[in-house]
Amino acid sequence: MANLSVRTEIYRRHRIHGFTLLEVMIALVIVAILAAIAYPSYRDSVTRTRRAEGKAALLDLANRMERYFIDRNTYATATIAAGATTDVLGSNLTENGYYQMQIQAQAATTYTIRAVPQGQQATNDATCGNLTLTNAGVKGISGGGNAQDCWRR
């Protein structure tokens, strides 16, 4: 009998403390639920941040178009390319390449410029799609969302 109590005492002293399978599974379920909630919010935040780059680039291009008009008294010959004397922008891509800038339509006294999302931004921002801006300051989108929401957020 004494031998049994010695073994029990040794077992108690050297018992390995760890996690049971049930505890590990509960922790994994909690992490999965938190990830399922957090990831869409994160992706939406990234998409809105990238959209801000497109909006800023459109406003910059609109300013350049106005300077072009002051210098030449027309919007009709303005281009987006590298090296030409009629260039208003040297590159058609935004700083990080999330949007491609285009002069969609132009005449002597009017223009519409567009920022077209590229790559993953085009996939994630289908609600807003292309951002447009006219010489009159009218802001638009090509997606199925609300233009005011897309330009505000």
Look at residue 7 and tell me whether its pLDDT is greater than 90. Answer: no
Q: What pLDDT score was predicted for residue 105?
A: 82
Cα separation, 135 vs 113, whole angstroms: 8
- 8-state DSSP, 111: E
Q: Are 57 and 89 in contact (CB under 8 A)?
A: no
Q: Are 100 and 122 in contact (CB under 8 A)?
A: no
List, for residues 50-70, the tens digit of each pLDDT value.
999 999 999 999 999 999 999
Mean predicted confidence (pLDDT) in 24-52: 93
pTM for this prediction: 0.76
